[in-house]
Chain A
Amino acid sequence: MGAKVITVTSGKGGVGKTTTTANLGVSLARLNKRVVVIDADIGLRNLDVVMGLENRIVYDLVDVVEGRSKLRQAMIKHKQFPDLYLIPAAQTRDKTAVSPSDMVTICNKLREEFDFVLIDSPAGIERGFRNAIAPADEVLIVTNPEVSAVRDADRIIGLIEAENKGPARLILNRVKMEMIKRGEMLSAEDVTDILAISIIGIVPEDENVIPASNSGVPVTLNENSRAGVAFRNIARRLNGEKVDFMSLDNSGGIFQRLTRLFAGGQGNE
């Protein structure tokens, strides 16, 4: 039994890769899984900020690759979850400081001791992306319901297929039901019509996300957050559970009932 290595990528920047990685990491840890999250965005690190671990960094991924520190020394334990670790990116170097085979080596070392290794990929399709997907057993594509993000996701899916890493699964992030109803935003059906891959989660737009990221407490720890529930559901699906998709309708009482139930413990939604 080894860890499953899951890479979170998107092509386009700013769609929510880092937020997704942090929230899935925390959500899996809450399911009592042993988790490592790796920031592969060397030179533009911020997974540490979103997870509230910035001030604890001593060594980073490049230090490990270049032999200045042991893998263990670069793994930062999360404040709240003792089985959740972060390997931060270096801020002072660039993507070429790490090779795809370095990433494979590091992940193989982690496989024995953990249940999940989540890799936060940089935007783009160059070296950083190749580093991030090299060790992946599974790839999650984050996209927003807008044409440009979907176009980039399509390109990324093609590249992942060419690397025999497919089939990738899709996380549709920042969905606004009201806009879809008005025909101003792509619906999940519109997106899958083009991308033709399965969706593992739909995350509604939620004003709680940005303050949560700013304060270093991922939104999924906020029991009242709709996005938080969506991330927890994705984590459970990654863990092999069958979880129905939640209703995205804000107007109905159904959603509030769901969150209350969830807040009440491990209850069924």
Chain B
Amino acid sequence: MTDGNVSIKGVKDGLLVTLSQSEEWLMITRELAERIDEKADFFAGAQITVDLGARAVPKYELTSLKALLERRGLSLNIVLSDSQTTMDAADALDLRTTSAVHTPGREPNETLPINPEEEGTMGVLVKRTLRSGRTIHNDGHVVVFGDVNPGAEIVAGGDVIVWGKLRGNVHAGANGDESAIVCALDMIPTQLRIAGYITTSPTEKRREIKPEIAFIRDEQIVVEAWNK
């Protein structure tokens, strides 16, 4: 369903809407609205990932795009972008963000073939500290570049990697994948779950801060030093 400025295609968990990087924003949003309205029933309730490429979309434009989708019963879930302005706007609106995979000028469908070994290993990169009350849910892997504070929660279908201190709740392999792992630079989660297993951190006071990895072995969660 490509029409020059707006392309809509089905992806694993909803619809991927790719918007032209060069056409005027008003034209694009109008076109998008028309496209959705044509098949309102078909689109209703869909989770939208919008790819804005390198376009710098300020907060008010992104807000209007979000409102446009919500008025039509769609929810804007994830923003893909190469622009810092856009990423900041999405952050301010509490939207999930990911860097767009394509380079400017190349059509998104022309990306290089995916290495079969990496297929299905999609995920999100969260580039900030998750404070209390924050939750990240993703069917793929979750990578956090920052701390996960007590009261924050990560639920991932795949692995969870925290480049920082992990002190909140984390659930890897949430859909039942017992091969999932959790690793962090400092591993003191309030609660750690992998698939159907659950554990808590020891309460000892003075501990050495070191990167560790948690996984399932012999039907229980074990935590080992990273460089073992």
Contacts and interface: CB of A to CB of B under 8 A. Distances in A.
Nearest to B149: A154
Contacts of A151: 132, 150-151
A158 B131 contact: yes
Interface string B125-156: 00001011110000000000001011100000
A155 interface: yes
Interface in B146-187: 147, 149-151, 167
A155 B133 contact: yes
A158 B134 contact: yes
A164 B90 CA distance: 12
Contacts of A162: 91-92, 94
A146 to B, nearest CB: 13
Nearest to A150: B150
Contacts of B228: none
Q: Interface residues of B: mostly helix, strand, loop or mixed?
A: loop
A135 to B, nearest CB: 18
A152 B132 contact: yes
A87 to B, nearest CB: 30
A170 interface: no
Nearest to B133: A155
Interface residues on B, range: 10 to 19
A155 B131 CA distance: 6
A161 B128 CA distance: 11
Nearest to A152: B132
Contacts of B129: 196
B147 A155 contact: no
B205 A194 contact: no
A154 B151 contact: yes
Interface string A154-190: 1101110110100000000000000000010000000
Interface residues on A, range: 10 to 19
B33 to A, nearest CB: 27
A154 B92 contact: no
Contacts of A152: 132
Contacts of A158: 131-134
A261 B132 CA distance: 42
A196 B147 contact: yes
Nearest to B205: A183
Interface string A108-128: 000000000000000000000
Given A151-B151, A162-B92, A164-B92, A157 B205 contact: no
A158 B131 CA distance: 6
B205 A155 contact: no
Contacts of A147: 150
Contact of A157 (B94, B131, B147, B167): B131
Nearest to B151: A151
Interface string B79-100: 0000000000001101000000
Interface in B83-120: 91-92, 94
B92 A194 contact: no
A184 B141 CA distance: 38
Contacts of B150: 147, 151, 154, 194
Interface of A: 147, 151-152, 154-155, 157-159, 161-162, 164, 183, 194, 196
Interface of B: 91-92, 94, 129, 131-134, 147, 149-151, 167, 205
12 contacts: A147-B150, A151-B132, A151-B151, A154-B132, A154-B149, A155-B132, A157-B131, A158-B133, A159-B133, A162-B91, A194-B150, A196-B129
Given A151-B150, A155-B133, 8 more contacts: A152-B132, A154-B133, A154-B149, A154-B150, A161-B131, A164-B92, A194-B149, A196-B129
